[in-house]
């Protein structure tokens, strides 16, 4: 492997953590649902939930970048897989931009531990990628399925009249489900139950901490 993929991965990390992301799609809205004012309690709840979602998108950037790097490290035969992972990562950039914008609108701050979340997710992505394309794609499938379920729970918890946050989360949920289907069709290997359980445990720790910090 040449140095170029490593430099690309480093550039992606710096842009994710320290630059303002730019979406290629307009931020989702709910038709005929104008934004209503939120009281302090609802605003705080929405801000905490959107901070968790923003952390998820920080981790998504790390996962897709590291898995693409791992794929290329295994040889040119995995170039198509690397490109597929990078394409999904670019779409996740829309989610990153939308959640960051919504955090600002809610006067809420992103997680102070974002560099830590990014580093941890990057390591997990590299580890999954070392086991080959099937496992790497299987990791994508399970990750996206868990994220989809997590977003569905947020739709239940967000204030009913927070139309802006709900529109973003609903679109993200649809996109994550599609990413899982695409990875499944590309040849994903089903992960063992203990691995899925460990992934859920790690996600629980992350979401619990990010909800507050």
- pLDDT of res. 108: 92
Extents of the domains making up the chain: 4-14+40-210
Burial 43-81 (b: 16+ CB within 10 A, else e): bebbbbbbbbbbbbbbbbbbbbbbbbbbbbebeeebeeb
What pLDDT digit, counting tens, does each position of 9-33 carry? 666 776 777 677 888 888 888 665 5
Residues 6+ apart with CB under 8 A from 43: 106, 107, 108
What pLDDT digit, counting tens, does each position of 22-71 carry? 888 888 886 655 656 788 899 999 999 999 999 999 998 888 888 888 88
CATH architecture type of domain 4-14+40-210: Up-down Bundle (1.20)
- pLDDT of res. 174: 92
Residue with tokens 């629980």: 204
Residue 204 has a CB neighbour count (10 Å cut-off) of 12
Low-confidence spans in the chain with pLDDT less than 70: 1-11, 14, 18, 30-36
Q: Is this structure's pTM higher than 0.75?
A: yes
The structure tokens listed for 28 are: 């989702």
């Amino acid at each position: 492997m040449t140095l170029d993929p490593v430099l690309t991965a480093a550039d992606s990390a710096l842009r994710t953590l320290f630059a303002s992301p730019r979406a290629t799609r307009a931020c989702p809205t709910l038709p005929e649902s104008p934004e209503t004012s939120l009281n302090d309690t609802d605003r705080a709840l929405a801000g905490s939930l959107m901070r968790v979602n923003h952390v998820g998108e920080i981790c998504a950037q790390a996962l897709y970048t590291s898995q693409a790097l791992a794929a290329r490290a295994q040889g040119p035969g995995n170039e198509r897989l690397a490109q597929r992972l990078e394409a999904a990562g670019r779409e996740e950039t829309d989610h990153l931009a939308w959640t960051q914008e919504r955090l600002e609108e809610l006067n809420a701050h992103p997680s102070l531990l974002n560099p830590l979340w990014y580093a941890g997710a990057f390591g997990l992505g590299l580890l999954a990628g070392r086991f080959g394309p099937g496992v790497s794609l299987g990791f994508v499938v399970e990750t996206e399925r868990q994220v989809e379920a997590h977003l569905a729970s947020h739709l239940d918890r967000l204030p009913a009249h927070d139309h802006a946050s709900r529109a973003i989360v609903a679109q993200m949920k649809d996109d994550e489900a599609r990413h899982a289907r695409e990875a499944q069709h590309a040849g994903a290997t089903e992960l063992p139950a203990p691995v899925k359980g460990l992934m859920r445990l790690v996600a629980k720790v992350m979401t619990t901490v990010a909800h507050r910090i």
